[in-house]
Amino acid sequence: MNESGNNTEYNGGKPEVNIIGAGLAGLSAALTLARMDIPCRLISPMPSERAQSVMAEGGINASLDTMGESDSPDEHFADTMKGGVYLADPNAVWNLCSNAPKTVEMLCSLGAALKMKDGKLVLRNFGGQKKKRTAYAKSSTGKILMTALIDAVRRYEAEGIVKRYSHHRLYSFDIADGNCRGIDVNDLHTGRLIRMNGSVILASGGMNSLFPGLTTGSTVNTGDVTAMAFINGVEIANPEFIQYHPTTFPITGKRCLVSEAARGEGGRLFALRKGEPWYFMEEKYPELGNLMPRDVVSREIELVKVDKDCDGHVYLDMTGLDRLVWSDKLSDLREECIRFLGTDPAIKPVEVSPGIHYFMGGINVDEKHRTNISRLYAAGECACQYHGANRLGGNSMLGAVFGGYTAACTAASEADENNTGIEELSQCRREIMQPVGIPDEAAKLLRDSLGIFRSGETLEAAEERMQELIEGEKNELQKRRMILGRAVLLAAQNRKESRGAHTRTDYPEKDDVNFRRTTIVTYSEKEITVSLRDIPEKRGESG
Amino acid sequence: MKYILEIWRQKSIDEKGDFRKYLYETDSESATVASALAELNSKAELTDINGEITDKIAWECSCMQKKCGACAMVINGRPCLACDAKLYENKTIRIEPLRKFPIIADLMVNRDIIFDNLSRMKVWSEKELIAVDEKNDIMYEASRCLQCGCCLEVCPNFVSGGRFFGMSAMVPSSRLLTGMNKGDAHDLRKQFGKKITDGCGKSFACRNICPTGIDIEKLMARSDAAVLWSFFLGNRFFE
């Protein structure tokens, strides 16, 4: 069938790829495929301009070494592995870090307006890294990268190589005998149901619907694609690792991020201890101070908040930042604090607390971004890759762009040219509005048991109650979400150690012997199984 | 605090719509129209001010913090983002969809024309673009457009499907025109002249509407000048 669904049209014997999600990872995959002249469909509930990627703030990491600090891919690799507490696939991380300079240069060649001086990219400090490695555009880096990629992909849309399906949502997978043959998608405006053959790349973002009101991300990134994939036999990896960004503040219905760039440019965390400012990060971690990895900073904030000598509040002091830093580097962050918090951070410290910002776990992929189902791939935040037990700031946009590229290359090399075309199936009920989050009680179970500090007892009780709620749930969408939530609980219960973003009060130590392994969660015959899989050995390349 | 929200309800483009009143209570000083709509929709049953059960309100949102443009609508007569419209500013709030675009349902409209126009105008570059030094600020500014449609809503010259494409096409074009090298911008410049310069009546009704505060006049003046000067000087303006 051709794209109107009426007639068979020969596309020259080329394979076709369906990409679910039109943020950084989806656009990067589409651009990569288009440049190889491989037709693809870009499917998303909203246009790219509305994707969560436009919200990304601080920057993108690459050891471009433009600041005269002798940075290198080896050091980027070492920092990423250490930040992730050695749980990431070292070969995938090496691919990421060694290709990071080329990736950022590619984005620059599309006219991405990253900060430059004298013809060179300016890099800033970011958490968990001693050297300046983060390219940026004030604190709107995601928006600036997205604009460049959107314009680049538009050319191929006009040529018909990339077909946009905005306002479309995944309806079902066609997976049989371990092979993905295509998907059915639903037009949210008309209710039209369309069958799309070909390989599938999932680039659908994190699992925000499990934590309504608690995340910094988009309400569109529900995790519904991940939940549906899971139910269809796709493995989930490391879902227990949920990043709490240390500096967020609540606004109605969600949390708002104060970018790590604020601390990269000199912002200082403090609490009032016996009425006096206590710069606890600088005291406890003299080397990196406020720029320790996010898991460490978030834990420290939580501990300080319950310290009997403190008053339960933690502040980010940006009042000492230079006027030029505000105007050249953080003007948008300042505007956001004024607009949403009513505080000018240049004049008064901002009260902050940790909020859910990123899911390190997700769909299990190998270093080529293959899932356990053939011709089904995943990239970006929906995939578990690169970040281990804790993601470093600046690595998510890099992981999304490079992951999308890698997934596209793999999909192109493995695609089936005999499985192509689309077909209009039927009109199904037009369902414009879907619930943003899971039902209240289920949300409370996850919120209370999957915080920064966790205990086996709470996790077990939450998991048992979640199973009861699942059995009583009538809404299929909510049921899938709750099954995914239960998978996260079981994974957290099973990991009896503390590592990165997963801190168990009953197992406070790291246990490399038993747990320096990837959690794998599978779903079959209504049963969820959790196991641990060895991390691949590092091959002989540098890093 | 109690607020009365007068919300446009319309099941589809084929059916008639009307305003319906809803009562919304909140103690939050930071509550916005977007957070109110989200909260109303999260209730098991949505009832209007008379206690009558109604369908959930169709509207679009994504970032909830002025970064994505999804929730553009007309609030008390002014196009803006629902996530940027604080409730405390008024007790009664009239909420309706953008009227320049075909309605899908309630507050949700089909804004495909914005993106189609960018394709028709060929807003892309086939060559490398580098946002170096003096071009960097302009390209940054022009990268910030949300494609929300607020500027088109107030524009006396823009009609969906018409020949003038409006500021939502001008802004991204200006990014490319600024970044392009000598000789690469010919097609886009020609399109810019036809689809933007020729159709803009310079009313600048859009001047203070952009939710992100993009300096439309500056970008327009620069790009207009580029088109004009390229007519007289060939491509030398961009050298």
Q: Does A340 touch chain B (CB under 8 A)?
A: yes
Does A294 qualify as catalytic in the annotation? yes
Say how many C-beta atoms besides its own lie within 10 A of residue B17's C-beta: 16
User: Is A297 within a domain?
Assistant: yes
The nearest CA of chain B is from the CA of A178 a distance in Å of: 34
Say how many C-beta atoms besides its own lie within 10 A of residue A199's C-beta: 28
Residue A60, H or E segment:
strand A60-61
Name residue A502's beta-bridge partners: A499
Rounded CA separation B41/B35 (Å): 10
Report the pLDDT value the prediction gives residue B122, as an integer from 0 to 100.
94
Q: A213 burial class (0-12, 13-18, 19+ CB within 10 angstroms)?
A: buried
Report the pLDDT value the prediction gives residue A5, as an integer from 0 to 100.
39
Res. A4 pLDDT band, cuts 50 70 90: very low
Name residue A14's beta-bridge partners: none
- Per-residue pLDDT, averaged over A476-493, amounts to 97
Q: Are A143 and B145 within 8 A, CB to CB?
A: no
Report the pLDDT value the prediction gives residue B217, as an integer from 0 to 100.
86
Whether the pLDDT of residue A127 is over 50: the answer is: yes
Q: Does B60 touch chain A (CB under 8 A)?
A: yes
Question: The tokens 């038993």 sit on which residue?
Answer: A514
Whether the pLDDT of residue A350 is over 60: the answer is: yes
Rounded CA separation A310/B64 (Å): 33
Whether the pLDDT of residue B180 is over 90: the answer is: no
Closest CA to A137 of A328, A345, A338: A328
Name residue B74's beta-bridge partners: B79, B96
Report the pLDDT value the prediction gives residue A3, as an integer from 0 to 100.
42
- Asked if B128 and A109 come within 8 Å (Cβ–Cβ), the reply is yes
User: Is A84 within a domain?
Assistant: no
Q: Are B201 and B156 within 8 A, CB to CB?
A: yes
More confident residue, B180 or A46: A46
| Pick from A55, A119, A252: CB nearest B133 | A119
Report the pLDDT value the prediction gives residue B89, as an integer from 0 to 100.
65
Percentage of chain A lying above the pLDDT 90 cut: 90
Q: Which of residues 171-210 of B touch A (CB under 8 A)?
A: 172, 175-176, 179
Most confident of A441-450, B84-93, B177-186, B200-209: A441-450
Q: Does A390 touch chain B (CB under 8 A)?
A: no
Report the pLDDT value the prediction gives residue A2, as an integer from 0 to 100.
40
User: Is A335 within a domain?
Assistant: yes
The chain-wide mean pLDDT, for chain A, equals 94
- Asked if B30 and A251 come within 8 Å (Cβ–Cβ), the reply is yes
Q: Which of residues 127-166 of B touch A (CB under 8 A)?
A: 128-133, 136-137, 139-140, 143-147
Closest CA to A345 of A245, A214, A249: A249
Q: Is A530 helix (H, G, I), strand (E, B) or coil?
A: strand
User: Is A421 within a domain?
Assistant: no
- Asked if B62 and A220 come within 8 Å (Cβ–Cβ), the reply is yes
Q: Which residue of B has its CA nearest to A50?
A: B68
Q: Collect all residues of chain A within an 8 Å Cβ-Cβ radius of residue B42.
A: 435-437
Q: Collect all residues of chain B within an 8 Å Cβ-Cβ radius of residue A473.
A: none
Res. A12 pLDDT band, cuts 50 70 90: low
Res. B224 pLDDT band, cuts 50 70 90: low
Say how many C-beta atoms besides its own lie within 10 A of residue B190's C-beta: 15
- Asked if A47 and B42 come within 8 Å (Cβ–Cβ), the reply is no
Q: Is A51 helix (H, G, I), strand (E, B) or coil?
A: coil
| Pick from B112, B131, B144: CB nearest A116 | B131
Would you say the C-alpha torsion A98, A145, B230, B226 has a positive or negative sign?
negative
Number of folded domains in chain A?
1
Q: Are A193 and A184 within 8 A, CB to CB?
A: yes
Q: Collect all residues of chain A within an 8 Å Cβ-Cβ radius of residue B129.
A: 109-111
Question: What tens digit of pLDDT does each residue of B53-66 get?
Answer: 999 999 999 999 99
Fold topology of B112-238:
Fumarate Reductase Iron-sulfur Protein; Chain B, domain 2 (1.10.1060)
User: Is A321 within a domain?
Assistant: yes
Catalytic residue among A181, A195, A294, A299: A294
Q: Does B118 touch chain A (CB under 8 A)?
A: yes
The nearest CA of chain A is from the CA of B230 a distance in Å of: 21
- Per-residue pLDDT, averaged over A272-301, amounts to 96
Interface test with A, best of B107, B122, B126, B129 (most A CBs within 10 A): B129
Predicted ipTM? Answer: 0.94
Would you say the C-alpha torsion A516, A520, A521, A527 has a positive or negative sign?
negative
Architecture category of domain B2-109 in CATH: Roll (3.10)
Q: Collect all residues of chain B within an 8 Å Cβ-Cβ radius of residue A441.
A: none
Q: B118 burial class (0-12, 13-18, 19+ CB within 10 angstroms)?
A: buried
| Pick from B67, B110, B131: CB nearest A113 | B131
Residue A476, H or E segment:
helix A476-494
Interface test with B, best of A57, A155, A433, A473 (most B CBs within 10 A): A433
State in Å, rounded, how far the first CA of chain B is from the last one.
58
- CATH number, domain of A339, equals 3.90.700.10
Report the pLDDT value the prediction gives residue B230, as an integer from 0 to 100.
55
Res. B226 pLDDT band, cuts 50 70 90: low
- Per-residue pLDDT, averaged over A382-386, amounts to 98
Question: What tens digit of pLDDT does each residue of A17-26 get?
Answer: 999 999 999 9
Question: What tens digit of pLDDT does each residue of A28-83 get?
Answer: 999 999 999 999 999 999 999 999 999 999 899 999 999 999 999 999 999 999 99
Judged by average pLDDT, the poorest of A1-5, A167-171, A440-444, A511-515 is: A1-5
Residue A533, H or E segment:
strand A527-534
Would you say the C-alpha torsion A438, A439, A444, A445 has a positive or negative sign?
negative
- Per-residue pLDDT, averaged over A471-495, amounts to 97
Whether the pLDDT of residue A392 is over 80: the answer is: yes
Q: Which of residues 73-102 of B touch A (CB under 8 A)?
A: 84
Whether the pLDDT of residue A459 is over 90: the answer is: yes
Tokens of A505: 């009060």
- Per-residue pLDDT, averaged over A291-300, amounts to 96
The chain-wide mean pLDDT, for chain B, equals 90
Three-state SS annotation for A3-39 = CCCCCCCCCCCCCCEEEECCCHHHHHHHHHHHHCCCC
List the domain range (segments joined by +) for residue A257. Answer: 246-355
Question: What tens digit of pLDDT does each residue of A399-453 get?
Answer: 999 999 999 999 999 988 888 899 988 877 777 777 789 999 999 999 999 999 9
Which residues, at least 6 apart from A512, have a Cβ–Cβ distance to it below 8 Å? A86
What are the two backbone dihedrals, phi and then psi, of residue B3, each rounded to the nearest 5 degrees? -125, 150
Which residues, at least 6 apart from A300, have a Cβ–Cβ distance to it below 8 Å? A280, A281, A284, A292
Report the pLDDT value the prediction gives residue B234, as an integer from 0 to 100.
47
- Asked if B115 and A54 come within 8 Å (Cβ–Cβ), the reply is no
User: For B130-157, b where at least 16 C-beta lie within 10 A, e where not — what string?
Assistant: bbbeebbebbbbbbbbbbbbbbbbbbeb
What residue ranges in B67-114 does DSSP mark as E strands? 72-75, 78-81, 92-96, 103-105, 108-109
Size of interface A-B (CB pairs under 8 A): 154
- Asked if B63 and A158 come within 8 Å (Cβ–Cβ), the reply is no
User: Is A230 within a domain?
Assistant: no
Rounded CA separation A386/A89 (Å): 7
- Per-residue pLDDT, averaged over A189-196, amounts to 93
Calculate the CA B70 to chain-centre distance.
9
Question: The tokens 């503390």 sit on which residue?
Answer: A498
User: Is A21 within a domain?
Assistant: no
What are the two backbone dihedrals, phi and then psi, of residue B6, each rounded to the nearest 5 degrees? -95, 105
Rounded CA separation A429/A349 (Å): 50
Q: Are A314 and A353 within 8 A, CB to CB?
A: yes
Calculate the CA B175 to chain-centre distance.
17
Judged by average pLDDT, the poorest of A164-168, A322-326, A395-399, B220-224 is: B220-224
Domain ranges of chain B: 2-109, 112-238
Q: Does A207 touch chain B (CB under 8 A)?
A: no
Report the pLDDT value the prediction gives residue B184, as an integer from 0 to 100.
77
Report the pLDDT value the prediction gives residue A8, as an integer from 0 to 100.
39
Q: Collect all residues of chain B within an 8 Å Cβ-Cβ radius of residue A252.
A: 26, 28, 30-32, 35, 39
Question: What tens digit of pLDDT does each residue of A74-117 get?
Answer: 999 999 999 999 999 999 999 999 999 999 999 999 999 999 99
- What are the Cα distances from residue A393, in Å, to A3, A160, A241, A242, B197? 40, 36, 15, 14, 42
Q: Which residue of B has its CA nearest to A155?
A: B124
